């Protein structure tokens, strides 16, 4: 309290805080929610801007991960490559191999890169343990955190392969390598044991260079290390630029919408905090006149009323920083998991900049009206504090009095014109709150549409496979590195389980009662002329339009000689719709015309879609089934499974679509930020109505004295708020709709694609009407408490309060 004075000045500050307890609490809570929203938005903006870069530097990730043939270069020679000019640090050599483990339920995981390291620490690629411990002896393995699931947890036993005598590996930990140097780690001896027989062991070296920011610099570094070893010794390299590009695709999509919420939160926080504080000081002008009359100097008056604003606001700001950090922790943890980076935390400067800015806003908001009160003469301050300027709002009373509405309602409708600045602040609060809600509703609907469009198989009621379900490799978990797994039997060779004949599966399907339609599909890999490496493909049999992807142009495949490709494939091959591609599956080749551009967010490995009849050797591994209306999918699948299992196939009811990963995180962010902004808007309304009600307590008491009922008093208080809420909703809904139309395409461009109309056109007319009425709901909820207080206030007490 010494900053603002002691003795009489301190008593004035304490008295003001105690006398206006409701306003003191509102200032503190409004500041807390505003700061919390700004901390959450700021933290998410920072986290989404470059999560990979921060994690990569923290772990000292490898600019180049190199694989060598140990038969052509010795460990000593490899160690010498770390001393080349331009190499700032190196680690290795480590033994490395590929293997494909089987989880406890019999499912195969995708092919993993297994590296033998004695510990997580190293000069390059300091692997961060997320849980558990490091592998210390043979039979133990540490997996990438992307593979952690209820089925694969610490203590789970993984078989090294599908063979009956394959060794078991116990999962002892989960770790994160920002540079994706490996998918799993074990002791060097364990890697050597798993590699024999059949799998070759390579030597892995990790390098950091003094210049590695461009592809040209990476190629120069690769050429340098390749020239330092014998011909053929360097088997391949992985650039950190490619790893960063893949990791940043998800992060890039979050930046535009987090920035939108961040700007909304910051602007709204400034409006609400300024309105709350300036209103609290402005309504004390009469008391300022009294203080000046008993001898307080203008400077003392200013200090006293700035203190009455800063003390509760400071407490609220401190609480807001704590609340914001607590709210953002689970979002940051999920974000780190999705991006595959090390754990994230709120940047220190966000926790410093947000409260400092909030204190500055509060100080300025309090200082301006306090200076005005300090400059007023005593008599003028007393007059200004007792009532609004004579004649202000009289024209509004005359105009609303002509409306065919009850008098308490028309009397209340004219109230905002008495304090137009305060009414404008209320209007902006409601408009911004409605904008946030409208944008959030559109965003979550668009993200849901994106998830549905990327999982067309979920539209089928029943999934039929030509192999038993426990013999089929599941897709990799969200965020897992590497190529998506292609369904295949666990065991290969003559001794493995045989797949069902697709012809017999079709016959069983056709004879089943309740069938409406079905189509076959084979997820596989093909080669495309002019494209290096293999390309993921979906080959379809029958009418596959029910399971087709959303299209940006052209049409879905309808027969032979056609192919649908995603935008990224067109960019990669410099082709367009109408061009022809030569596609090869095993020994079959076909010239296919590009007939459509699909919407695909699958990342760096887009999938093409073609007709199975173009490749005679292709057979469907899955049939996607639609049942007739009224037929239970579970019952249909159970009946069909009893027929297919003796043949080697299986059937199951398709589970509902489960949107995971970045879509779930963005939904959670949107909901949290929207709730905070709505709370801030409600608090702004609450404060403004409290100020209005206290200022008009004498008028309300007079109205009560001449017969106004409590219900009419509530109507009088809520009428202007309802009008402001309606107008704010009319302004906020178009603004939210416009914000959605601006932000969503930016998010699409951030991941290298355009968005189809089902993702953009998500608002229904009725939904927009309801959202518009949401402004009224926000305003009324914020005003209910002071309206109830005004209705319950006794007439005599109110007159004495005046």
Beta bridge partners of 114: 97, 184
Q: Tell me the CA distances in angstroms from 434 to 123, 155, 478, 727, 731, one per residue in order.
A: 52, 49, 34, 11, 8
Higher confidence at residue 292 or residue 430? 430
Beta bridge partners of 239: 64
Q: Model confidence over 624-635: pLDDT tens digits?
A: 888 888 888 888
- What is residue 606's predicted lDDT score, i.e. its pLDDT? 74
The whole-angstrom separation of Cα 128 and Cα 176 is 5
- What is residue 593's predicted lDDT score, i.e. its pLDDT? 93
Using alpha carbons, select from 426, 794, 431, 471 the residue that is nearest to residue 648. 471
Q: Model confidence over 518-567: pLDDT tens digits?
A: 899 988 888 888 776 678 888 999 888 888 888 889 999 988 999 999 88
Q: Does residue 721 have a pLDDT over 70?
A: yes
Q: Does residue 485 have a pLDDT over 50?
A: no
User: What is the rounded average pLDDT of the residues 724-752?
Assistant: 86
SS3 642: helix
For the entire predicted model, the pTM comes to: 0.66
pLDDT band at residue 800 under the 50/70/90 scheme: low
- What is residue 748's predicted lDDT score, i.e. its pLDDT? 78
pLDDT band at residue 383 under the 50/70/90 scheme: low
Count each helix (H run) and each strand (E run) in the chain, helices first: 23, 20
Q: Which of these ranges, 52-61, 237-246, 247-256, 435-444, has the smallest mean pLDDT?
A: 247-256
Q: Are 276 and 26 in contact (CB under 8 A)?
A: yes
Cβ neighbours for 318, distance < 8 A, ≥ 6 positions apart: 355
SS3 199: coil
- What is residue 483's predicted lDDT score, i.e. its pLDDT? 35
Q: Does residue 661 have a pLDDT over 80?
A: no
- What is residue 592's predicted lDDT score, i.e. its pLDDT? 92
Q: Which of these ranges, 61-65, 230-234, 668-672, has the smallest mean pLDDT?
A: 668-672
Q: Which of these ranges, 72-86, 454-468, 713-727, 773-787, has the smallest mean pLDDT?
A: 454-468
User: What is the rounded average pLDDT of the residues 254-268?
Assistant: 68
Q: Does residue 372 have a pLDDT over 80?
A: no
Question: pLDDT over 70 for what percent of the chain?
Answer: 77
In DSSP notation, 522-550 reads EEEEEEETT--S-EEEEEEES--GGGPPP
Q: Which of these ranges, 156-160, 294-298, 474-478, has the smallest mean pLDDT?
A: 474-478
Q: Which of these ranges, 159-163, 349-353, 745-749, has the smallest mean pLDDT?
A: 159-163
The whole-angstrom separation of Cα 163 and Cα 165 is 5
In DSSP notation, 93-152 reads EEEEEEE--B-TTSPBPPPEEEEE-S-S--SS--PEEEEE----STTEEEEEGGG--SSS
Q: Does residue 489 have a pLDDT over 50?
A: no
Q: Does residue 205 have a pLDDT over 90?
A: yes
- What is residue 495's predicted lDDT score, i.e. its pLDDT? 37
- What is residue 731's predicted lDDT score, i.e. its pLDDT? 92
Domain map (residue ranges) of the chain:
64-211, 387-455+660-802, 459-653
Which of 52-66, 641-655, 729-743 has the highest average model confidence (pLDDT)? Answer: 729-743
- What is residue 251's predicted lDDT score, i.e. its pLDDT? 56
User: What is the rounded average pLDDT of the residues 621-644?
Assistant: 86
User: What is the rounded average pLDDT of the residues 652-676?
Assistant: 65
Q: Tell me the CA distances in angstroms from 122 to 118, 125, 186, one per residue in order.
A: 10, 6, 15
Higher confidence at residue 162 or residue 799? 162
The whole-angstrom separation of Cα 399 and Cα 410 is 9
- 742-772 burial by CB neighbour count: b if 16+ within 10 A, else e? ebbeebbebbbbebbeebbebbeeeebeebb
Q: Are 497 and 468 in contact (CB under 8 A)?
A: yes
SS3 448: helix
- What is residue 473's predicted lDDT score, i.e. its pLDDT? 40
19 phi and psi, to 5 degrees?
Answer: -70, -35
User: What is the rounded average pLDDT of the residues 774-792?
Assistant: 80
> Which helix (H) or strand (E) is 88 found in, with range?
strand 87-99
Which of 103-117, 289-303, 349-363 has the highest average model confidence (pLDDT)? Answer: 349-363
Average per-residue pLDDT for the chain = 78
SS3 436: helix
Q: Which of these ranges, 508-512, 557-561, 783-787, has the smallest mean pLDDT?
A: 783-787
- What is residue 722's predicted lDDT score, i.e. its pLDDT? 86
- What is residue 539's predicted lDDT score, i.e. its pLDDT? 92
Q: Does residue 502 have a pLDDT over 60?
A: yes
Q: Does residue 497 have a pLDDT over 90?
A: no
Angle at 209 between CA 203 and CA 212, to 5 degrees: 110
Higher confidence at residue 551 or residue 748? 551
């Amino acid at each position: 309290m010494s900053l603002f004075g002691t003795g009489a000045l301190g008593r004035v500050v304490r008295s003001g805080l105690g006398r206006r307890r409701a306003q003191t609490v509102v200032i503190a809570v409004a500041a807390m929610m505003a700061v919390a929203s700004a901390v959450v938005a700021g933290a998410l903006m920072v986290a989404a801007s470059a999560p990979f870069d921060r994690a990569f530097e923290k772990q000292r990730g490898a600019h180049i991960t190199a694989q060598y043939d140990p038969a052509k270069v010795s460990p000593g020679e490899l160690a010498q490559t770390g001393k080349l000019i331009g190499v700032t640090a190196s680690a290795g050599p480590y033994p490395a191999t590929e293997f494909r483990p089987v989880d406890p339920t019999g499912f195969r995981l995708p092919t993993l890169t297994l590296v033998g390291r004695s510990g997580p620490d190293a000069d390059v690629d300091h692997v961060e343990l997320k849980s558990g411990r490091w592998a210390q002896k043979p039979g133990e393995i540490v997996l990438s955190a992307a593979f952690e699931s209820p089925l694969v947890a610490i203590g789970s036993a993984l078989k090294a392969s599908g063979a009956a005598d394959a060794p078991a590996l116990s999962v002892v930990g989960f770790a994160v390598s920002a540079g994706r140097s490996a998918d799993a780690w074990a002791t060097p001896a364990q890697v050597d044991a798993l590699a024999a027989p059949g799998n070759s062991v390579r030597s892995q070296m990790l390098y950091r260079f003094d210049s590695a920011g461009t592809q040209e610099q990476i190629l120069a570094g690769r050429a340098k290390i390749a020239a330092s070893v014998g011909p053929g010794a360097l088997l391949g390299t992985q650039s950190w630029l490619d790893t960063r590009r893949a990791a940043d695709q998800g992060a890039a999509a979050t930046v535009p919408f987090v920035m939108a919420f961040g700007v909304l939160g910051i602007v709204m926080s400034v409006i609400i905090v300024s309105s709350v504080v300036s209103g609290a000081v402005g309504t004390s002008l009469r008391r300022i006149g009294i203080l000046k009359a008993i001898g307080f100097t203008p400077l003392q008056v200013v200090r006293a009323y700035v203190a009455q604003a800063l003390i509760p606001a400071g407490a609220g700001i401190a609480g807001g920083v704590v609340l914001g950090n607590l709210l953002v922790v689970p979002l940051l943890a999920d974000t780190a998991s999705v991006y595959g980076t090390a754990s994230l935390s709120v940047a220190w400067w966000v926790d410093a900049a947000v409260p400092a800015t909030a204190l500055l806003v509060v100080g300025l908001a309090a200082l301006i009206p306090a200076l005005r009160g300090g400059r007023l003469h005593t008599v003028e301050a007393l007059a200004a504090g007792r009532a609004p300027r004579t004649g202000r709002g009289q024209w509004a009373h005359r105009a609303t009095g002509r409306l065919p509405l009850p008098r308490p309602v028309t009397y209340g409708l004219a109230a905002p014109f008495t304090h137009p600045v305060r009414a404008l602040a209320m209007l902006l609060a409601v408009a911004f709150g409605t904008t946030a809600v409208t944008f959030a509703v559109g965003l979550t609907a668009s993200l849901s549409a994106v998830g549905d469009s990327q999982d067309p198989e979920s539209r089928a009621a029943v999934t039929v496979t030509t192999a038993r379900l426990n013999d089929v490799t599941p897709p990799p978990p969200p965020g897992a590195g590497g190529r998506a797994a292609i369904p295949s039997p666990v065991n290969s060779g003559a001794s493995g389980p045989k797949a069902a004949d697709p012809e017999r599966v079709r016959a069983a399907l056709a004879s089943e009662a309740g069938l409406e339609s079905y189509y076959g599909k084979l997820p596989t890999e093909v080669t495309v002329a002019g494209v290096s490496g293999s390309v993921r493909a979906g080959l379809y049999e029958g009418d596959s339009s029910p399971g087709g992807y959303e299209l940006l142009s052209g049409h879905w495949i309808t027969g032979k000689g056609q192919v649908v490709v995603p935008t990224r494939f067109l960019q990669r091959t410099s082709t367009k719709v109408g061009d022809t591609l030569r596609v090869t599956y095993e020994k079959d080749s076909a010239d296919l015309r590009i007939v459509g551009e699909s919407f695909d967010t699958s990342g760096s490995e887009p999938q093409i879609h073609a007709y199975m009849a173009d490749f005679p050797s292709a057979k469907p591994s899955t049939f996607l089934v639609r049942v007739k209306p009224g037929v239970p999918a579970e019952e249909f699948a159970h009946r069909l499974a009893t027929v297919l299992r003796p043949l080697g196939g299986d059937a199951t009811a398709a589970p509902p679509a489960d949107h995971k990963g970045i879509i779930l995180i963005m939904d959670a962010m949107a909901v949290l930020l929207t709730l905070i902004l709505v709370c801030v808007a409600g608090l702004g309304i609450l404060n403004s109505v409290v100020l209005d009600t206290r200022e008009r307590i004498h008028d309300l008491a007079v109205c009560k004295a001449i017969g106004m009922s409590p219900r009419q008093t509530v109507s009088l208080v809520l009428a202007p708020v309802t009008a402001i809420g309606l107008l704010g909703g009319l302004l906020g809904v178009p603004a939210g709709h416009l914000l959605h139309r601006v932000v969503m395409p930016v998010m699409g461009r951030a991941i290298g694609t355009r968005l189809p109309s089902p993702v953009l056109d998500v608002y229904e007319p009725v939904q927009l009407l309801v959202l518009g009425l949401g402004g009224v709901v926000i305003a009324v909820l914020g005003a209910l408490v002071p309206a109830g207080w005004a209705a319950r206030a006794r007439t005599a007490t109110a007159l004495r309060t005046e």
